[in-house]
Structures are given as structure tokens and as C-alpha cells.
Amino acid sequence: MNEEQNKLEERDRAVEEIARRLGVQAERGKRFAELTSLRVGGAIDWVIVPETEEQAAAIVHELDQAGIGWRPLGSGSNVLADDGDHHYVVLNLSNMKGEVRIEGELVSVSAGYSLPRLCIDVWRGGLSGIEGLGGIPGTVGGALWMNAGAYDHEIGTVTENVRVAREGKVVEIPGDSIEWNYRHASFKEGELLLGATLRLKQDDPELIKARMDDAKSRRLASQPHGSRSAGCFFKNPPASTIGTGKMIDEMGMKGQRRGSAIVSPVHANFIVTEGENARAEDALALAEEIRERVKREQGIELEYEVELWRAKPEPQMNADEQTQMDTDQKQEQ
């Protein structure tokens, strides 16, 4: 048995022991294809499924202490994991739902709670501020991490405070200590979000419902539904007057296919996957083809909105290789 296998076995024993001691479910044999909305992606060594904020805080502390790598996952609606074997622990937070607590205009919710569900709860409670987000799949934690937004609403603008895991404990940090940018919030790398309190505004439930329905019907009219996607694949470039979807559409790429991945014929910034054995490799190749064409034809470097999770870190280029690549690219233009 080689050294790497020895280390993995030692780690496996440690994961089992931590999960048993903290009374948390730990699963083997899962694949990202089962846990992400694109339905692609390879094997995961361990999936740990905490049910409470306290459990989740304790687990990541123990994993950190043992030097075991982990990543948090909500509903997997914004993640493209590659087809390789992922040798880390995935903390699946979608069971950490807790209960929504409403006190006046403050709404406290755990990170694993469904965002669409929360939008319905607060509409019924006559609270406005997130009705534009009603059609965004995923958990509250994923939405906070990405600063999810749609139809004039962004979660960051209504976040009073966020509960995070620190040293095994649940700690509250003020929402205004975070920079909430376009599809990005300034949380520290490796920060685990456990829950949040939102500050909403009282309004007539009928008006809130009407705005929520309007956002939903605009979404239905412009985006594929019932398909396997991760929402918009790329961000809109800051300096461009047209959105990325329109840009890709104007290049005639709607319906373009790479194996099991297709540029959605409905919305060109959506890549959808098809088939039982769809491959992340196909979605990535198609995405890179789009980026190359946009770079060549529009001179714009598209930035991924979807998170790419690699089984192995990408090899770093040294300075000479980078210079050579830049020279080659200039010559091609």
C-alpha cells in the first residue's frame, strides 16, 4: 500500500470517529452528479450531513483540527464539479433547515433552508424585500455566499447579520461588515455560513405576491425550466452594454452542443446537460469554447458565475510559460 492510500485510510478513520462522536450522518459513495443541479461530477470521498447550526460548527472545527479538507454545499445549483475523484469532505447543508423565526420585521433562518420556501413564508407573513428571489433555486447559505439576486432584489441588501462557524461555535457577524457585490460577497475563504437574520419591510401580502408572481413569469418567459442547469454560467461584464446571454446569442451559439452539454436554445447564458451519463468535461469544454469566442470576437474576458470545483488543483504556470502563452495568443489575433 502506498503512502497516499495510507493517509486516506487514516483520514477515513478520523472522519468516521468525528461523525460518530458528534452524532452526524457521514456517507460514502456519493457523486456530485447526485448533488448538483447540472447532474454531473465525480465521486466524493465523504459527504457529511449536519442538521443543526451547532453540529455544523463543531464538525468543521474538528475537521480543521485534524487537517481534513472540506467544502460546504447547499443545493448545488451554482456548482460545476469536474468528473474526477474529489478527495475531500463535502458538508451537505441542505438538511440544516431549522425553523424560520419571524419577530416583527426580522427573520432568522438557517443556512440549509430553501430560499424559494423562505420567500413564500415571508410573503405570507406580509414581509417584503426578497420577493424577486422567489424563483432562485438553492439554500439561504448558497444565496448569501453568492449574494444571489434577481429582479431588483439582492439578499445582501436585506441581511442584518450572518451566523458563521468560528472555533467550533456559532458566532454572529453584522451584515454591514460584508461587502455585497455582484454575485460575490466578501466572506473569508473557508468561512462556513450557518444562518442569517434578514431585515424586511411590512407590506400588503397581496402586493408582495403580485411582485413575486411577476418575477416568476418573467423568469419563465426568458429561462429554460425543467432542464438541468446552474443558472447563468457567466457574469455580465461590467463595461458591456449588453448582457452575456445576448452576446452569446448574437454569436449564433444557442443550441451549440458538446457531447452531453448544450447552450440552451432558450437563454444563451445557460448551459444545460442531458442524458444519464452527462459529463462535466462536456459542460466545461462548451463553456471554454464560449469564452474563447467572446474573447476573440468581442475582446471581452467572461468571468464564470458558476463555481468550478476541481478534483485536483490546476497546475500553476510558471512565468516563462505564461509569457509564451501570451505571445502565442497575440500572434493568433
Ligand X SMILES: Cc1cc2nc3c(=O)[nH]c(=O)nc-3n(C[C@H](O)[C@H](O)[C@H](O)COP(=O)(O)OP(=O)(O)OC[C@H]3O[C@@H](n4cnc5c(N)ncnc54)[C@H](O)[C@@H]3O)c2cc1C
Residues binding ligand X (CB under 6 A) = 37, 71-79, 93, 111, 136-139, 141-143, 145-146, 148-150, 183, 192-193, 229-231, 307
Cβ 99 to ligand X, closest distance in Å?
17
Radius of gyration over alpha carbons of the chain, in Å?
A: 21
- Give residue 16's identity as a one-letter amino acid code: E
Closest to ligand X by CB, 143 or 247: 143
Least Å distance, CB 17 to ligand X, is 24
**CA pair distance 276, 33, nearest whole angstrom:** 10
- Cα 46–Cα 96–Cα 304 angle in degrees, nearest 5: 70
Q: Judged by CB, which is closer to ligand X: 92, or 128? A: 92
- 1/88 with CB nearer ligand X: 88
Residue 305 contacts residue 235 (beta carbons within 8 Å)? yes
Q: At 252, is the secondary structure helix, strand, or coil?
A: coil
CB of 223: closest distance to ligand X in angstroms?
6
Q: What string of DSSP letters covers 182-242?
A: TTEE-PPTTPPEEEEEEE-EE--HHHHHHHHHHHHHHHHHHS--SSB--SBSBPPPTT-SS
Smallest gap from residue 135 Cβ to ligand X (A): 7
Closer by beta carbon to ligand X, 252 or else 275: 275
Closer to ligand X by CB, 139 or 256: give it: 139
* Residue number with CB closer to ligand X (172 or 307): 307
Provide, rounded to whole angstroms, the least separation between the CB of residue 231 and ligand X. Answer: 2
The DSSP 8-state label assigned to residue 121 in this structure reads H
**Minimum gap (Å) between residue 221 Cβ and ligand X:** 14
Phi, then psi, of 100 in degrees rounded to 5: -75, 130
